Amino acid sequence: MKDGRPPRGGPSTQTALALIGLTLLALGGVAIAVGILPVSDALGVGARVWPVLLFAVAVTVVAELADEAGVFIGVAERLARIGLGRAWLLWVLLALLAVASTVFLSLDTTAVLLTPVVVLVARHNGLSPLPFALTAVWLANTGSLLLPVSNLTNLLAQHALGFQDPGRFAALMAPAALVAVLVPCGVILIVFRRELFRRYERAVVTPASDRPLLIAAGGVVALLIPALLTGVPVWIPASVAAVLLAVVFLVRRRKSLRVGLIPWQLVVFAGGLFLAVEAGHALGLSAVLATVAGQGEDAGALLRLAYSGAIGANAIDNLPAYLALEPVAGSPQRIAALLVGVNAGPLITPWASLATLLWHRRLTALEVSFPWRRYALLGVIVAPLTVGLAALALLL
């Protein structure tokens, strides 16, 4: 740990994302040039997605600077003190932190920034980091159902649902969101029972290197969370918070303000996906997928759509899987089922969720071995179970 903060992984994943995104943008440009994708449709996609991408950029900057200030490691170390020397209680507390981080600051924040924190806290207290690391990535995905800001797919779905009130979104998704958190946690508790049902000696809390910076960053994050629930377009409070934190760092730790804080690779990648999927719809993709995803809102129909989303996410990635299947969803309950599939389902293949790839990069940087084969085998167990039970919970 450097300056009390977790080390960071290398840039290869982000570079690959940028290259894929540029390729997809080029293909989308060709589709526009030859008339496959009308210019008006392409402009419509741009008008729909720019607020989503701006939010993603702003909340990433907020999370990165909060991490630089020591907010995440500070909270996690104090939870270790509250854990009373019981590994299972510390795991529960860190799982709740992962859910809160995912719900309010998005799944990428949990996968990228909270993962190294929970690993280091586990090691610092003499515990195996594996159950804590797996909890972070599973809950980054499955815990991202409750609010629009929890996942980019949710922000896209909010547009399709036609309402801006996050309370209505939460009311629609709450039963599935609860199930999608409890099922993976139950599996982890069973699989890692030996590691979790033991005691640990509580380590000394590391003092913050810059307490005023920590307090200011924590205050901005604390104010941002309720601001995201007001119904105002989420890119506005996220952008304001990013600017406020940048000003604080300009005064306290200017060297931390770097171009790398802005996830331009993610913007290029997502932009390319949006354009490519829209071109696919212009070529008749929706008609093909309608036969796969079916129709209706009974239990069988919702399970069929949810599992279609989960299979699509594990085959390509959850974001294009959602974009491809959204036109065949058609109703709030079916859109909710699709979100269950693409958010709670991508737990098997490495590429099913960008958050999963970034999570593994952080583990590699921390010299934690979690082979993809073991990850996939555990995912084959938990993903179908979570998606199925969460989709059925929508009927409650």
d(CA 315, CA 68): 35
Residue 4, domain member (yes or no): no
d(CA 147, CA 313): 20
* Residue 3: predicted pLDDT: 46
Residue 5, domain member (yes or no): no
Q: Which residues contact 371 (CB under 8 A, 6 or more apart)?
A: none
* Residue 6: predicted pLDDT: 52
- Provide the domain limits for residue 132: 12-393
d(CA 377, CA 349): 10
* Residue 380: predicted pLDDT: 97
Residue 129, domain member (yes or no): yes
The DSSP element (H or E) to which 130 belongs, if any, is helix 130-142
Residue 1, domain member (yes or no): no
Contact status, residue 111 vs residue 6, Cβ threshold 8 Å: no
Show the tokens assigned to 262.
């802005």
Q: What is the 3-state secondary structure (H, E, C) of 294-348?
A: CCCCCHHHHHHHHHHHHHHHHHCCHHHHHHHHHHHCCCHHHHHHHHHHHHHCCCC
Residue 6, domain member (yes or no): no
Q: State the DSSP string of 5-24.
A: B-----SHHHHHHHHHHHHH
Q: What is the pLDDT of residues 263-319, one digit of tens each?
A: 888 888 888 888 888 888 888 887 888 888 888 999 999 999 999 999 999 998 898
Q: How many domains does the chain have?
A: 1
* Residue 1: predicted pLDDT: 45
Residue 152, domain member (yes or no): yes
* Residue 93: predicted pLDDT: 95
Residue 385, domain member (yes or no): yes
* Residue 12: predicted pLDDT: 64
* Residue 201: predicted pLDDT: 85
Q: State the DSSP string of 199-260.
A: B-PPPPPPPPS-HHHHHHHHHHHHHHHHHTTSSS-THHHHHHHHHHHHHHHHHH-GGG--GG
Look at residue 86 and give its three-state secondary structure: strand
Write down the residue that tokens 């008006």 correspond to: 40
Show the tokens assigned to 298.
């009974």
3-state helix, strand, coil in the chain (%, to 5): 75, 0, 20
Q: Which residues contact 197 (CB under 8 A, 6 or more apart)?
A: 87, 88
Burial category of 236 from C-beta neighbours within 10 Å (exposed 0-12, middle 13-18, buried 19 and up): middle
Look at residue 359 and give its three-state secondary structure: helix
Tell me which residues of the chain have a pLDDT lower than 50.
1-4, 9-10
Residue 226, domain member (yes or no): yes
d(CA 362, CA 119): 10
